[in-house]
Each structure stands twice: as structure tokens, then as C-alpha cells.
């Protein structure tokens, strides 16, 4: 069963922290971001294959947010567009601040549990999926 959870974030809220808070408040053991529409005044991301983060203080429209959500880790990617329509994206980090609003919809998968375990073949903690059905 999929349970939709919708909320509206407002000016000054941190997008990553609010996703984490939503996971906790709704006891999400397996989830994903279904949709996020809005704008940010500050973007904090890690680009592909990079160790450093990129913090940009500028207005951006949220183009997409995709995520797998577990109780202990929210793996979130974001794409945003600037005033010229140029798009940048990467791994969402704390410090991405809502400018005016963000309409966030999350799906909770009640029959699944997501977790993260170290994978020797990648060197990262990767998603593991288990079923809660009998």
C-alpha cells in the first residue's frame, strides 16, 4: 500500500531537514519523493563524483527532486533552474533554503522496508529492500 503525504514548506526552511523531519514524523520505513515544486534562495549540493560541496546563494526554481527515504538516511537528488533556464543538479545537502514555498509530496510504502548497507563493490552504502508482507 502507498500512503501519500503532502506538505507545504515556507520561506527559510531547509529542504533536506524538512524531508528528514517528515520521515520521522510519519514513521516512514520506506519512501520516496513523488513531487516537489517551488523555489530556493540558496542551493547546497554535491556534484557527481565530487568530494566538495557547491553552495550557491541565488534564486532557483526547483525542476525535480527524487529520493529514496529510510529512517536513518534520505538519499535525495535535486535539479534546479536559474533565471536563464540553466539547470544544475546533484546530491541535496543541508543548507538548501526555501525562498517562498515548496509543495512536497512523499510516498510511504507500507509493505516495504528500505535500509542502507555497505556494498564492497561500490564502496558506498547502498539501498537494501525487504518486504513486510507475509
CATH number of the domain encompassing residue 49? 3.30.1330.80
CB burial string 52-73: b at 16+ within 10 A, e below: eeeeeeeebbbeebbbbbbbee
Q: How many domains is the chain built from?
A: 1
Output the pTM of the full model: 0.93
Range of 111's domain? 2-131
Tell me the C-alpha distance between 80 and 88, whole Å. Answer: 6
* Predicted local distance difference test score (pLDDT) of residue 75: 97
Mind listing the pLDDT tens digit for each residue in 34-91? 999 999 999 999 998 888 999 999 999 999 999 999 999 999 999 999 999 999 999 9
Give the three cell numbers for residue 94. Answer: 543541508
Q: How far apart are the first and last CA of the chain?
A: 14
Q: Any idea what the Cα angle at residue 78 is, between residues 76 and 82, rounded to 5°?
A: 165
Mean pLDDT score of the chain, rounded to an integer? 96
Amino acid at each position: 500500500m502507498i500512503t501519500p503525504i503532502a506538505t507545504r514548506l515556507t520561506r527559510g526552511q531547509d529542504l533536506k531537514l524538512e524531508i528528514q523531519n517528515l520521515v520521522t514524523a510519519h514513521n516512514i520505513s520506506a519512501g520516496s519523493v513523488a513531487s516537489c515544486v517551488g523555489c530556493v534562495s540558496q542551493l547546497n549540493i554535491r556534484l557527481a563524483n565530487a568530494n566538495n560541496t557547491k553552495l550557491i546563494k541565488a534564486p532557483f526554481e526547483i525542476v525535480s527532486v527524487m529520493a529514496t527515504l529510510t529512517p536513518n538516511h534520505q538519499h535525495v537528488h535535486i535539479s534546479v533552474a536559474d533565471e536563464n533556464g540553466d539547470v544544475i543538479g546533484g546530491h541535496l545537502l543541508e543548507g538548501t533554503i526555501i525562498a517562498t514555498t515548496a509543495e512536497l509530496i512523499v510516498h510511504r510504502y507500507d509493505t516495504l522496508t528500505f535500509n542502507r548497507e555497505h556494498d564492497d563493490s561500490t564502496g558506498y552504502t547502498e539501498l537494501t529492500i525487504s518486504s513486510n508482507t507475509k
